Amino acid sequence: MNSSKSLLITLTAILIPALSFAYDFMEGGLCYNINDDGKTVTMTYDKLIMFAFDAPAPTEKGYVGDIVIPEKVKHNGKTYKVTAVDRGTFSCNTDLTSVAFPKSVKSIGKEAFNYCPRLKEVILPPDLTEISDHMFAESSLQTIIIPEKVTTIGNSAFASSSLKSIRIPNSVKTISKSAFSGCRWMETVTMSNNVEMLGEAAFSICPSLKSIELPSTLKEIGPKAFYECSGLEQVTIPASVTSIGDGAFSNCHGLTSIKVQEGNKRYDSRDNCNAIIETATNTLIIGCDATVIPSSVAAIGDEAFVGCYGFKNLEIPSSVKTIGDLAFFYCRNLKELNISNSVETIGERAFCGCDSLETVIIGNSVNNIGYGAFLHDDHIKAVTIGSGVKSIGGWAFKGLDAVKSITSKIEDVASVKLGKDVFDEIDMKACTLYVPRGTAAAYKAAPQWNAFKKIIEQ
């Protein structure tokens, strides 16, 4: 046998089983596979639909309209119990409107109802223990009753669906990653008293959600759990919470009240500051427009104020030594920034996207300015760089279209480490670089600094 024919046979043996969507039998227009026990069956698809435009027409075989799954089904004189529904069974059926499950079904596979644009009602079986990954993602489902035995809501289970409200039963302990992400019409969430974990982005991009009461059993709030919930007005962190991920409430433009319950051993909201502070490190990890940064705070955490629109003038307290990555990202109404002489590090993209920022004063204690720290802040007119700076990350001041002057207090410019294109897209002819007396020659010889056409000592 020649090598090409051998390869063809090998590929055929691999691909045909993978692409075969055969079922054991069909009864009442529904397809089934017999399980290993020979007594039960799993309902499956008669045609695996990969994309919505492949959905079968009503005249073709396919699950459309209102489907009622029987508890038992007869075939060739034998009766089988329906105990499961296969992965993707109803996925992408554009004319499916409702499905009712029998009590006998114990499990429903992943992606069972995703991309079902006309789905209105699903009656889930009472003994279901998990809402599997992507089960209702991108569906038009507006309401559903989650059975009382469900313990886990899987990854992206209801992501970008049309849900308006949801009640999480007491049996649920875990709401997984992106479970309700992108539910733009979600107005109310009633959460059980047994939920312990909210996964990453669990309720992100739910702009209609105005309030949520977090249960006293909650231990973990994942990164970006409520990211871009712009309608959320207030939140109280229970005393039980021991972990809050970065950006958990970032881009929540409407948030005006943040509190941590007394008795929490990990976090606090000291001095009624309207923020969440990690007690052991004195790091402010989540703030809002109404936050007053306490004088005891040692660090502003990563993504702490992302998307806060209320700030116009910001003075960092003298206690703060570190400003984290993306700390004030897209605070678009911030106009004046005075970074005190206590701050040592400005994180990556810390003030990127602050479109209204006009004046920046960086204190003498700052030794590191991170990558893209002021990237594309195109209204900045004047920047002062403190004398203590030892490194400036790439693109730190890129795109400062309106800047007229940069004042550098750095004495030994040759020792400063610069990243790539620190001053890229600045008009080097229009912007004047002011430098300490006796250093103009050094600046004119230093890479990147020497691109400025007007270097003046003062």
pLDDT digits (tens, 9 = 90+) for 358-382: 999 999 999 999 999 999 999 999 9
Taking only the tens place, the pLDDT of each residue in 85-98 is 999 999 988 889 99
pLDDT digits (tens, 9 = 90+) for 343-363: 999 999 999 999 999 999 999
Kindly indicate the confidence band of residue 13, based on its pLDDT and cuts at 50, 70 and 90.
Answer: very low
Name the pairing type of β-strands 345-346 and 417-418.
Answer: unpaired
Is pLDDT of 18 > 90?
no
Cα–Cα distance, 255 to 234 (Å, whole number): 6
Q: How many CA atoms lie within 13 A of 10 on its CB side?
A: 7
* Average pLDDT for 321-339: 93
**What pLDDT score was predicted for residue 273?**
95
The predicted-structure confidence for 268-294, as pLDDT tens digits, reads as follows: 999 999 999 999 999 999 999 999 999
Give the lowest-confidence range in 4-8, 44-48, 209-213, 300-304.
Answer: 4-8
Check residue 47 and give its pLDDT. 64
Asked if residues 433 and 457 have their Cβ atoms less than 8 Å apart, the reply is: no
The whole-number pLDDT of residue 199 equals: 98
CB-CB contact of 199 with 225 (8 Å): yes
pLDDT at 48: 54
Q: Which of 45-59, 280-294, 390-404 is predicted least confidently?
A: 45-59
Q: What is the pLDDT of residue 349?
A: 98
- CA within 13 Å, CB half, 152: 12
- Range from 11-20, 36-45, 220-229, 413-422 carrying the lowest mean pLDDT: 11-20
Q: What is the pLDDT of residue 11?
A: 34
- Write out pLDDT tens, residues 155-205: 999 999 999 999 999 999 999 999 999 999 999 999 988 999 999 999 999
Mean pLDDT (the chain, rounded): 91
The Cα angle at residue 289 between residues 214 and 183, in degrees rounded to 5? 45
Structure confidence at residue 62 as a pLDDT band (50, 70, 90) = low
Query: Among residues 25, 201, 180, 336, which one has the least CA distance to residue 328?
Result: 336
Residues 6+ apart with CB under 8 A from 451: 423, 428
Q: pLDDT-based confidence at 338, cuts 50/70/90? A: confident
Query: Using CA atoms, how far apart are residues 9 and 123, in angstroms rounded to an integer?
Result: 46
The tens digit of pLDDT for each residue in 141-162 reads 999 999 999 999 999 999 999 9
Rounded Cα gap, residues 21 and 222, in angstroms: 38
Supply the pLDDT for residue 21.
52
- What angle (nearest 5°) sits at the alpha carbon of residue 26, between those of residues 23 and 27? 155
Q: pLDDT over 70 for what percent of the chain?
A: 92
How many CA within 13 A on the CB side of residue 278? 17
Examine the pLDDT at 59 and tell me if it is beyond 60.
no
Residue 50 pLDDT > 60, yes or no?
Answer: no
- Round to whole Å and give the CA distance between 282 and 171: 36
Query: What mean pLDDT do residues 128-146 have?
Result: 97
Using only C-alpha atoms, the chain has a radius of gyration, in whole angstroms, of 29
